[in-house]
């Protein structure tokens, strides 16, 4: 019986249950485009090609982010097969680690009950239930940022000199953060910790960090891939660190411009309703009673607030803003919310029932989102076209695309060749925004051989005369109409599929055998 479990056992049972719930939700929806289709396909291509150095999108180098996500995805796909859950296992593992790190930290600086409540708040928020199974780099880097801050903070609070082992773990976490999403894996923990050490007058302890062994560990983990990539692609450092890191932070020309208050709203959405209990901590300046007996308890509360305010301020400065950038602050916000609940609600009658009710409401909202998102995004996905193509095409066939880029098609069709993307590429280089065209032609600049997949629309007409060619375009695209040899093969929800050659094919995916892909009849 659960009632016979110790408090610590209840906490671990809670952690395990929340993670299993996350995996269940991860199985309820197809890939979201563009993000999940893009990043998931990079991982699949890495596994298929055997090239673990160069992340590739449609066979073209894709250096927007470092490779930790892709490495882990490729290993997961190799173990569990080519499916959405295998992809989502990577952010889910990181989300689980974020919860465990929060629990162990909160348990140490407060009580078992507070720690479990913080875990439940974070674990029933949209941060965890949605962000924790969304395939992109945000949850991995947020997790390693949090682990780094916790490790260094506990190292500094260990005594007059930092705990060397914890500090080395912090260096390792920073390295993994850098491999997750670049320089913010170092910059954000460093910014939070420097401000906190100055605020709490502990900065002199920095001199006693195990700098030699810590930096050696960091270099051993983080630097080899960057060095090897630069050796193979001489313009890599400029593209990765100047173009994709510094310029994206300072420029105003990238996607997703938002007002300065964007992240205030994001915190409410990601951490509703618990964020309001965190704000309760501002009501009185005195430290929470539950921390009163802990040495330098005020320092821990200061860390949490500096953690939240510094990172949100950092990401509010640039013009471009995304919800996922707020994920790194969530562990600190969860602990503040748990303390706020303890102060404002825990002593009241039926507080336990209210807490359970709020948790269940959040889980219900997440469940509805997962069940409905497939319908809402149906026309943007190419999953149905991919299924038709997978069942009818041969691995050696060539797929041409135009109009948009079907990010999820290669993953679901399990294509073995890059698609030929038809576009007026000279014009695209002059006028393309921060979208699929730029991703492809910038990748082509790194690899002239791979760049051959970027072709002019004029190649479509002669391709129709030969068998073994396919053309995919958004519904309404008229490029193939009237061209000799091209016949409509399948009409999807938002895309159309044409087949070349004189032989007409069925209008639905009824082909017999294609390596056991789901939906193909044997």
Q: Which residues pair with 470 in a beta bridge?
A: 399, 499
Structure tokens at 256: 């997703």
Residue with tokens 């190292």: 155
pLDDT of residue 49: 97
The residues, ordered by sequence, that sit 6+ positions from 439 with a Cβ below 8 Å of its Cβ are 38, 57, 62, 64, 405
**59 and 430 in contact (C-beta within 8 Å)?**
no
Is residue 502 helix, strand or coil? coil
Q: H-type helices in 182-258, by residue range?
A: 184-199, 211-232, 236-237, 247-250
pLDDT of residue 508: 46
Residue-level pLDDT, tens digit, the chain, 522 residues: 456 899 999 999 999 999 999 999 999 999 999 999 999 999 999 999 999 999 999 999 999 999 999 999 999 999 999 999 999 999 999 999 999 999 999 999 999 999 999 999 999 999 999 999 999 999 999 999 999 999 999 999 999 999 999 999 999 999 999 999 999 999 999 999 999 999 999 999 999 999 999 999 999 999 999 999 999 999 999 999 999 999 888 876 566 789 999 999 999 999 999 999 998 877 655 455 545 544 447 899 999 999 999 999 999 999 889 999 999 999 999 999 999 998 888 778 888 999 999 999 999 999 999 988 877 788 889 999 999 999 999 999 999 999 999 999 999 999 999 999 999 999 999 988 889 999 999 999 999 999 999 999 999 999 999 999 999 999 999 898 888 999 999 999 999 999 998 544 444 444 434 445 554 643
CA distances, 341 to each of 68, 215, 277, 287, 352 (Å): 37, 40, 6, 14, 11
Judging by beta carbons within 10 Å of its beta carbon (0-12, 13-18, 19+), is residue 516 exposed, middle or buried?
Answer: exposed
Q: Give pTM, 2 decimals.
A: 0.94
Rounded Cα distance between 401 and 479, Å, is 10
Give Cα 206 to chain centroid, integer Å: 32
């Amino acid at each position: 019986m659960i009632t016979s479990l110790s408090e610590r056992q209840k906490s671990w049972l809670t952690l395990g249950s929340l993670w299993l719930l996350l995996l269940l939700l991860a199985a309820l929806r197809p890939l979201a485009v563009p993000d999940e289709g893009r990043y998931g396909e990079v991982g699949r291509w890495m596994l298929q090609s055997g090239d673990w150095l160069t992340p590739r999108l449609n066979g073209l180098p894709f250096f927007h982010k470092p490779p930790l996500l892709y490495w882990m995805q490729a290993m997961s796909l190799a173990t569990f097969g080519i499916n959405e859950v295998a992809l989502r296992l990577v952010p889910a593992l990181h989300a689980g680690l974020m919860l465990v790190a929060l629990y162990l930290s909160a348990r140490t600086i407060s009580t078992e009950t507070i720690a479990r409540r913080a875990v439940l708040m974070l674990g029933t928020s949209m941060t965890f239930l949605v962000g924790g199974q969304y395939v992109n780099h945000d949850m991995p880097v947020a997790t390693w940022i949090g682990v780094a801050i916790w490790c260094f903070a506990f190292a500094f609070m260990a005594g007059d000199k930092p705990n060397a082992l914890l500090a080395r773990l912090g260096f390792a976490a920073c390295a993994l953060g850098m491999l997750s999403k670049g320089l913010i894996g170092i910059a954000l923990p460093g910014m939070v910790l420097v401000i906190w050490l100055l605020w709490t007058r502990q900065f002199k302890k920095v001199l006693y960090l195990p700098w030699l062994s810590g930096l050696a560990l960091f270099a051993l983990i983080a630097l080899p891939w960057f060095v090897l990539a630069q050796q193979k692609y001489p313009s890599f450092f400029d593209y990765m660190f100047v173009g994709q890191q510094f310029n994206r932070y300072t420029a105003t020309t990238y996607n997703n411009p938002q007002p300065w208050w964007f992240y205030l709203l994001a915190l409410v959405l990601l951490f509703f309703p618990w964020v309001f209990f965190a704000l309760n901590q501002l009501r009185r300046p005195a430290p929470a009673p539950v921390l009163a007996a802990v040495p330098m308890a005020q320092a821990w509360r200061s860390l949490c607030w500096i953690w939240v305010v510094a990172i949100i301020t950092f990401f509010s400065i640039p013009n471009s803003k995304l919800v996922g950038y707020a994920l790194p602050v969530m562990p600190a916000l969860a602990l503040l919310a748990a303390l706020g609940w303890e102060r404002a609600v825990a002593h009241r009658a039926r507080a336990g029932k209210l807490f359970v009710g709020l948790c269940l409401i959040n889980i219900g909202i997440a469940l509805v989102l997962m069940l409905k998102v497939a319908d809402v995004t149906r026309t943007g996905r190419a999953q149905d076209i991919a299924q038709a193509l997978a069942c009818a095409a041969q691995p050696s066939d060539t797929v041409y695309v135009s109009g948009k880029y079907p990010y999820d098609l290669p993953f679901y069709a399990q294509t073995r060749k890059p698609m030929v993307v038809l576009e007026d590429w000279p014009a695209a280089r002059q006028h393309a925004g921060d979208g699929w065209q730029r991703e492809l032609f910038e990748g082509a600049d790194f690899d002239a051989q791979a760049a051959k997949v970027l072709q002019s629309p004029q190649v479509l007409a002669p391709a129709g005369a030969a068998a073994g060619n396919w053309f995919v375009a958004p519904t309404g695209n008229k490029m193939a109409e009237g061209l000799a040899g091209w016949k409509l093969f399948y009409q999807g929800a938002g895309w159309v599929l044409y087949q070349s050659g004189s032989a007409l094919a069925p209008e639905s995916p009824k082909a017999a055998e294609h390596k056991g892909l789901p939906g193909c009849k044997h």
